[in-house]
Amino acid sequence: MASSPTHTSSPRSRRSRLKRGSVALAGAAALVGGLLAPSAAVADQTFVSDADTSANVTHVANVPKTEAMSDFNSDLAFTGDYAIGGNYNGFVIYDISAPEDPQVVSEVLCPGGQGDVSVSGDLLYFSVDYARASDECGAPSVPTSDPNGFEGIRIFDISDKAAPQYVAAVRTDCGSHTNTLVPGKDGEHEYVYVSSYSPSVNFPNCQPPHDKISIIEVPLDDPASAQVIEAPVLFPDGGNTNTSGCHDITVYPKHDIAAGACMGDGILMDISDPTAPVVTDVVRDTNFAFWHSATFTNDGATVLFTDELGGGGGAVCTEAIGPERGANAIYTIDGFKGKKKDLQLEFEGYYKIPRLQSTTENCVAHNGSLIPVPGQDFFVQSWYQGGVSVIDFNDPAKPKEIGYFDRAPINEDRLVLGGSWSAYYYNGYVYSSDITRGLDVIKLTEPRLRPAERVGMDEFNPQSQPEYRPGRR
């Protein structure tokens, strides 16, 4: 690897403008090519929200995107007092030690498409699904038909949050649209499940059929030697008509289970051996267009799948589309307390936001997480320009909205892609990654959700679910 990312860093004022500078930083695996240092800070101003919210939801902060991260914001991961936001240009590290006044600590410029992120200690895993001329951060884009193009996972050392270091790159078939962290059981390794799809005979590194995932093994004492060790086929008999890989996988290591959202199929897996996942059930739904993501309840007995009808770019929260398309589907897991190989999914009900959106707002079910109220099932979820929805699904057959955050259309006259890509609960607040408007911080004041404030997490990857317990902060 010949070069590494360009960094930007900023002081506590998020309103600072950045200017180009340079600094040399030594690293065993990489060299930092440049540093963008901030100019003098602008005085803080009173934050005024531009969102409509329910009475039990308060919009407390927004961190606008900088020029360096002018492309689309995507997913989030959390470690300690930091949130890490993916972007099609790279990633941003935010200091959230004061949640109502978050600050940009650094920005790593390393384009490669969606930029899905997972964090593990000092390591950050970053998805690349747009082909680049090489694995270098500054490499230009190339056609997917280029046999030498790089797509896959980049690994960074983020022990210094102000100056992350590029450690390694691992090529995977069809690149990496999303990635899921799976802890190893020996304490010496961890694994990354890489999800990707849409093969073509014209793509030399993404040939059909692509009914598989890639599994990367990372030796914790030598992450630079990470490599693909398995590529298990999840659909040996072929998936549903449009299934050619998985969009996303959520694992629940405590229970050795995983749920896969695989385009035309929803699947349940036994991951007792994380290097050899076994599919135990496959479900299909005529109302689902694109199985997108999944979340387990804390007891592991229920799983909520999302349908990304229209690929995220469509206005599908309308009366014409109705309440059962572009929605969530909730399944209980039959046989959960029995043998993993016998687990089956049983459909319970749908949930879609009840607030109709305009035809100029892209809106559909997207990424969310549990709100950790012990013994209860509450969920916070992004809906692109449908905003953020707070959901009670204690009765999985009759889920209902109990709170919301919703902005006006970006453009009243035409459809413009934007809105909340991901909305996750972390240590007392909801953090929403808005595609165009930056990072939003939301406080929930609903009395039923107050017990969640006593649940603390040191690290959180929504696609690698922890078991939560009160009093851990």
Contacts of 223 (CB under 8 A, 6+ apart): 123, 155, 157, 167, 168
Q: Determine the pLDDT at residue 348.
A: 98
* CATH class (in words) of the domain with range 6-40+52-460: mainly beta
Locate the domains of the chain by residue range. Answer: 6-40+52-460
Q: Is the pLDDT of residue 342 over 90?
A: no
Residue 462 predicted with pLDDT over 90: yes
What backbone phi and psi angles, to 5 degrees, belong to 392? Answer: -100, 115
pLDDT for res 46? 77
Least confident of 105-114, 332-341, 427-436, 456-465: 332-341
Q: Quick check: 352 pLDDT over 50?
A: yes
- Are residues 307 and 293 in contact, defined by beta-carbon separation less than 8 angstroms? no
159/242: higher pLDDT: 159
Q: Which of 298, 349, 295 is nearest to 327 (CA)?
A: 349
Assessment of whether the complete model's pTM goes beyond 0.85: yes
What residues contact 430, with CB distance under 8 A and at least 6 apart? Answer: 380, 388, 423, 424, 441, 442, 443, 444
- Write the pLDDT tens digit of every residue in 107-129: 999 999 999 999 999 999 999 99
The pLDDT value given to residue 337:
64
Task: Find the mean pLDDT for residues 292-299.
Answer: 97
The mean per-residue pLDDT over the stretch 222-242 comes to 95
Q: Predicted confidence band at 242 (pLDDT cuts at 50, 70, 90)? A: confident
Q: Could you tell me how far CA 386 lies from the centroid of its own chain?
A: 18
In contact, 305 and 328? CB cutoff 8 Å: yes
Q: What is the mean pLDDT of residues 315-331?
A: 98
| CA 369 – CA 246 distance, rounded (Å) | 19
* 343, pLDDT greater than 90: no
Q: How does strand 103-109 pair with strand 117-120?
A: unpaired
pLDDT at 472: 47
Mean pLDDT (the chain, rounded): 90
pLDDT at 6: 65
Could you tell me what percent of the chain has a pLDDT over 90? 86
Residue 143's pLDDT band, with cuts at 50, 70 and 90, is very high
226: pLDDT strictly greater than 90 = yes
Instruction: Compare 11 and 388 and report the one with higher pLDDT.
Output: 388
pLDDT digits (tens, 9 = 90+) for 8-53: 554 332 222 222 222 222 233 332 322 333 333 333 557 899 999 9
